[in-house]
């Protein structure tokens, strides 16, 4: 992993942890997706952050989206969530990561496509 990869990974992890922690705290929930603002504010911000990081670093952009979305798991563990529904929660995180990964690939494609057209 080079320095740029490490920096982008750190940004995606920190951004995801911050976003999901604030969502949980402000929503008074152990799990971010139980908060009222999850679908209207937090999740769209996660998708946008995924796209922004992919535009910044378009190599393997799925990594940034997956890190942001799956950092919810760390927040849920730190918040004391029950592990009885962990398999279902992991499946939900996989499904939630798909739009973020798609946005990241689109942003990376737009970035690399625009750069290749510049004189």
Q: What is the pLDDT of residue 60?
A: 95
DSSP 34: G
Q: What is the pLDDT of residue 116?
A: 61
Q: What is the pLDDT of residue 46?
A: 98
Task: Decide: 92 and 38 in contact? Cβ < 8 Å.
Answer: no
Output the tens digit of pLDDT for each of the chain's 119 residues: 799 999 999 999 999 999 999 999 999 998 999 999 999 999 999 999 999 999 999 999 999 999 999 999 999 999 888 888 889 999 999 999 999 999 999 999 998 876 665 55
Q: What is the full DSSP assignment across 15-70?
A: HHHHHHHHHHHHHT-SSGGGSTTIIIIIHHHHHHHHHHHHHHS-SSTHHHHHHHHH
Residue entry with tokens 């939900």 = 92
Structure tokens given for 21: 């922690």
């Amino acid at each position: 992993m080079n320095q740029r990869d490490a920096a982008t990974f750190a940004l995606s992890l920190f951004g995801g942890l911050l976003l999901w922690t604030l969502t949980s705290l402000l929503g008074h929930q152990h799990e971010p997706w139980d908060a009222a603002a999850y679908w209207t504010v937090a999740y769209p911000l996660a998708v946008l952050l995924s796209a922004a990081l992919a535009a910044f670093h378009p190599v393997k952009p799925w990594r940034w989206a997956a890190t942001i979305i799956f950092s919810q798991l760390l927040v849920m563990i730190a918040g004391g969530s029950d592990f009885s529904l962990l398999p279902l929660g992991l499946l939900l995180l996989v499904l939630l990561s798909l739009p973020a990964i798609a946005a990241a690939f689109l942003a990376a494609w737009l970035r690399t496509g625009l750069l290749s057209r510049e004189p």
